[in-house]
């Protein structure tokens, strides 16, 4: 099956969402009154923000507006800096991820993250895909399902045909586009519900960007995707809902087509018209 058959981008805006949970409008991420400080610098101010299950939601805003910080508090990767302080609540699939009993490694493995620069590990493609999966299960020695897992993950990111014969090559030999797809593929074996993407296309050329956008659109439904982007055209093309942030505050959150056509807020209007950025 060709890529085009798998992901038809021409009808994405008006395609009806067929999954039940989409119709129900259930929330995958629910942030309530989130405040976050880096040392004494406050990066988020009372952010309340909901992401619906199965949709692609994009976060836009000028540099330093807190969009990446918000994204990074959804898998608590922010906390690798010792000086981060978080206040408020973030629920993912109905579970408070800042609750005391929550295990940090569980949070991070079940909430996948894709970075700005593709960062495959310096090991083979096969090991990259099994890495996250293997972390959760130290008992298995030889798993007969491994091949199946790899094939499934690579098929989901449309890489299987390209890579099936070189699974034991280093992942660093791949093109940037393939690397970024692999970085998405390696999240899938642990069956995450939510994928966070921090400007996943900003290191890629336009053609690769298009391919990743198509892929993200194809993953929609099964996964809830929250994506930070600098690229307003991308937010407009490839997201169901869009949220605009400014100076650490959530300014506006709407369906993408509405936000870009009839924003409520004057600041949103100014930003999407390119008056500042």
Q: How far is the CB of 29 from another protein (least distance, A)?
A: 16
Is 57 within 8 Å of 239 (Cβ atoms)?
yes
Which of 110, 179, 224, 239 is close enough to bind another protein by CB under 8 A?
110
Q: Which structure tokens are listed for 247?
A: 């100076």
Q: Which of the residues 156 through 195 are near another protein (CB under 8 A)?
A: 170, 172-173, 183, 186-187, 190
Which of 54, 61, 120, 200 is close enough to bind another protein by CB under 8 A?
120
Q: How far is the CB of 170 from another protein (least distance, A)?
A: 6
Examine residue 115 and tell whether it contacts another protein (CB under 8 A).
Answer: yes
Q: Which residue number, 135 or 261, has a Cβ lying nearer to another protein? A: 135
Examine residue 48 and tell whether it contacts another protein (CB under 8 A).
Answer: no
Examine residue 117 and tell whether it contacts another protein (CB under 8 A).
Answer: yes
Q: Which structure tokens are listed for 121?
A: 């590990």
| Distance (Å) of CA 132 to CA 112, 149, 262 | 10, 12, 42
Is 118 within 8 Å of 180 (Cβ atoms)?
yes
x-marked contacts with another protein along 198-237 as a string, rule CB under 8 A? ----------------------------------------
| Distance (Å) of CA 45 to CA 42, 87, 89 | 7, 10, 13
Q: Which residue number, 132 or 248, has a Cβ lying nearer to another protein? A: 132
Which residues touch 147 (CB under 8 Å, ≥6 apart)? none
Binding site for another protein (CB under 8 A): 75, 77, 80, 82, 104-110, 112-113, 115, 117, 119-123, 131-132, 135-136, 170, 172-173, 183, 186-187, 190
């Amino acid at each position: 099956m060709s890529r085009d058959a798998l992901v038809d981008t021409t009808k994405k805006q008006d395609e009806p969402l067929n999954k039940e949970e989409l119709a129900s409008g259930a929330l995958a991420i629910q942030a309530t009154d989130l405040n976050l400080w880096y040392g004494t610098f406050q990066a988020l101010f009372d952010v309340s923000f909901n992401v619906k299950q199965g949709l692609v939601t994009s976060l836009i805003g000028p540099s330093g507006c807190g969009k990446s910080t918000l994204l990074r508090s959804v898998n608590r990767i922010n906390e690798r800096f010792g000086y981060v302080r978080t206040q408020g609540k973030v629920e993912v699939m109905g579970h408070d991820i800042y609750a005391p009993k929550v295990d940090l490694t569980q949070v991070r493995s079940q909430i996948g993250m894709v970075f700005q620069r593709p960062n495959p590990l310096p090991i083979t493609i096969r090991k990259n895909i099994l890495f996250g999966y293997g972390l959760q299960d130290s008992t298995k020695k030889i798993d007969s399902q491994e091949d199946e897992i790899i094939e499934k993950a690579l098929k989901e990111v449309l890489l299987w045909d390209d890579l099936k014969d070189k699974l034991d090559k280093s992942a660093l030999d791949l093109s940037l586009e393939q690397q970024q797809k692999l970085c998405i593929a390696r999240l899938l074996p642990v069956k995450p519900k939510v994928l966070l993407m921090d400007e996943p296309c900003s290191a890629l050329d336009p053609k690769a960007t298009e391919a990743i956008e198509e892929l993200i659109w194809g993953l929609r439904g099964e996964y809830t995707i929250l994506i930070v982007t600098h690229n307003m055209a991308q937010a407009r093309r490839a997201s169901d809902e869009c949220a605009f942030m400014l100076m650490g505050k959530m300014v506006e959150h709407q369906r993408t087509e509405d936000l870009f056509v009839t924003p409520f807020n004057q600041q949103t209007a100014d930003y999407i018209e390119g008056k500042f950025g």
